[in-house]
Structure 1
Amino acid sequence: MRTVLGDIDPGDLGVCDAHDHLFLRSPRLPGEELDDTAAARSELDSFAQAGGRAMVQWTPWGMGRRLSALPALSRDSGVHLIAATGLHQAKHYEGVRFAHGVDELAELFVRELTRSPVRAGLIKVAGAFHRLDEHARRTMAAAATAHHATGAPIGVHLEGGTAALETLQLLCADHGVPAHRVILGHLLRYPDPAVHLRVAEAGAYLAFDGPSRAHHAGDHRLVECVAALADAGHADRVLIGGDTVVASARSSADGPGTRHLLEGVAPRIAQEIGRDVARAIFVENPAHAFAAHWPGPARPSPGMPPTSAEPG
């Protein structure tokens, strides 16, 4: 497992927020930039105090992810951080022309996964609403090439939670990525149990992110979706993250913040579905979903002591 401080054993990851953002900047979110290092540290400290041990930052290339700031934040907070390479939708890069072909993009992703001073551990790409546009198809092809070169998992922003099955068709059937190396994000925005079941049966991971956000389905729908998957024997496919993409959603700004996952969502899952399901979602599943077999010599992490805290 590749963190910003080096490679760790997946079993050492601990309680994990599987999809979030410490830093993010987009012309689509004016005035809501996540660009304050002190605020990021405060959010990490709050998460750690609630029992959090690891966080996956899905901010990709070109969106103000502040890679150089992440190692110190991880070391000082005691929270493992996994960073992302990849590209979001083209609309988040106003003024940037993507003239690069698939091979050039794949080389960028591989370099950031294997040779950068601060290495990514996830490839992030994105689809369009109910479809895969040309930009999505090109970046997903590059992500597949980078996956085959590195073993890194691929996380996918599904716009409005849509086009999940089309995305699996492209990545898995067309480009040969094993389904268990694909993490489909934002499925709480499209709470269709039939689609969720087909994704789980295919073997991909389902990320339900952004609980308690006003424009998403509420926490009760999240619990319903997770319960349906657990009842069908697919609790091992579920991940949950805060997906804090705007400054006003942070706990320091009176938003639910990342600790809501461990103080609100996890206890409810433990009570209504089962403690074993809560542990699978927040501990066991992330350890499998974000693991990879990296080529070349690993960079061992200086390590942080494991925690005994568990959700629920």
Structure 2
Amino acid sequence: MSGMIRTVLGDIAPEELGVCDAHDHLFIGSPALPGQELDDPEAALAELKAFAALGGRAVVQWTPWGMGSRTERLPALSRQSGVRIVSATGMHQAKHYDPAELERRRGGLADLFIHELTAAPVKAGMIKVAGAYHRLDDHARHVMAAAAEAHHATDAPIGVHLEAGTAALDVLDLLCGTHGVAPHRVILGHLHRFPDTRIHRQAAEAGAFLAFDGPSRVHHGTDWRLLDSLSALADAGHAQQILLGADTVTPSARSDADGPGMPFLLSGLRPRIERELGLDLASAIFVGNPARAFAARWRRP
């Protein structure tokens, strides 16, 4: 492996990352989702400890700028739990922000992302962007252009929230075709929401990482197809590009509230993957693949 993974406690070698929840949230909030905030540090610590008790060693928080990431809290949580935490910069869909604030920030997004990746007191280790339903609107295109600029300046990986699991190929065409981001620096998220194995295979053939992140949301009707999707990718030769994350975004989804939460990745999914798809694939998904996906040859402009 090459490069380093930027955690909230500093850069580490990829082989130090360990068993990883590749997409989750300890803190998140949005005016579009009133009353559903994750904002309790004690609850976040309890979730991390429950994950660690099952062998979890790392969590990647995809909460971007302006959505209550509480980045200043993350180093203490990492020390107290023993779990490595990777934080994010970037920007979500426009609906999650005040329009006036979006307009004020519009011309300086790349600089904002670069600052949070390289100069903030607690540095981010990835850039998170988002598409709209089935398409890329003007806001998404503008944010992705800024993310690509920040990537080229820093080598940070770019994680993409695909709202309905769709538009994966459009994202790759924009980020990689138009803006020159290498496909293996892109992580396409929420592909379980659109379980079209042909699209998954085409995205993998392009070279991107594919994140199946949402088993903490028990209402997703496509989750029952998860292992079939993973198996299809592995059979097509793409076992080294699959990531899994719980994507816990509400208090009721946490394990202490009888939701699946972070621990379900290791208590529920990992045993099934090991049993039905093999130990090698499970190790790749939880250890080897995230170690490569989030490593970067960090540059400081």
Confirm or deny: 8 A CA contact 1:29 1:246 kept in the other structure: no
The answer for unaligned runs of 5 or more in structure 1 is 298-312
Matched, 1:222 2:234: no
1:138 positional shift? 0.3
Q: TM-score, normalised by structure 1?
A: 0.93
Matched, 1:142 2:146: yes
Matched, 1:83 2:55: no
Q: Which secondary structure does the structure 1 equivalent of 2:212 belong to?
A: strand
Confirm or deny: 8 A CA contact 1:20 1:56 kept in the other structure: yes
Q: Which residue of 2 aligns with 1:181?
A: 185
CA–CA distance in structure 1, aligned partners of residues 299 and 208 of structure 2: 23
Q: 2:195 aligns with which of 167, 191, 194?
A: 191
TM-aligned CA distance change 1:285 to 1:258, over 3 Å: same
1:100 positional shift? 5.1
1:73 counterpart letter in structure 2: L
Confirm or deny: 8 A CA contact 2:193 2:222 kept in the other structure: no
1:260-294 deviation per Cα after TM superposition (whole angstroms, max 9, x unaligned): 00011011011111100000000000000000011
Matched, 1:36 2:35: no
2:204 counterpart letter in structure 1: A
CA–CA distance in structure 2, aligned partners of residues 255 and 265 of structure 1: 14
1:32 positional shift? 1.4
CA–CA distance in structure 2, aligned partners of residues 217 and 281 of structure 1: 22
Confirm or deny: 8 A CA contact 2:87 2:123 kept in the other structure: yes
Q: Which secondary structure does the structure 2 equivalent of 1:85 belong to?
A: strand
Matched, 1:254 2:258: yes
Q: Which residue of 2 aligns with 1:233?
A: 237
Q: Which residue of 1 aligns with 2:101?
A: 97
Q: Which secondary structure does the structure 1 equivalent of 2:295 belong to?
A: coil
Confirm or deny: 8 A CA contact 1:219 1:265 kept in the other structure: no
Q: Identity over aligned residues, as a percent?
A: 66
1:96 positional shift? 4.0
Q: Which residue of 2 aligns with 1:207?
A: 211
Q: TM-score, normalised by structure 2?
A: 0.96
1:156-205 deviation per Cα after TM superposition (whole angstroms, max 9, x unaligned): 00011010000000000000000000000000011100000000000001
Matched, 1:158 2:162: yes
Q: Which residue of 2 aligns with 1:110?
A: 114
1:87-129 deviation per Cα after TM superposition (whole angstroms, max 9, x unaligned): 0000011354322576610000000000000000010000000
205-214 vs 70-79, greater mean Cα deviation: 205-214
Q: Which residue of 1 aligns with 2:284?
A: 280
2:150 counterpart letter in structure 1: A
Q: Which residue of 2 aligns with 1:73?
A: 77
1:206-249 deviation per Cα after TM superposition (whole angstroms, max 9, x unaligned): 10011152332354311010000011110111000000011100
Runs of 4+ aligned residues of structure 1 deviating over 4 Å after TM superposition are 100-103
1:141-166 deviation per Cα after TM superposition (whole angstroms, max 9, x unaligned): 00000000000000000011010000
CA–CA distance in structure 2, aligned partners of residues 237 and 212 of structure 1: 21
Confirm or deny: 8 A CA contact 1:102 1:141 kept in the other structure: no
Q: Which secondary structure does the structure 2 equivalent of 1:184 belong to?
A: strand
CA–CA distance in structure 2, aligned partners of residues 268 and 144 of structure 1: 37
Q: Which secondary structure does the structure 2 equivalent of 1:224 belong to?
A: helix
Q: Which residue of 2 aligns with 1:302?
A: none
C-alpha RMSD over aligned residues: 1.4
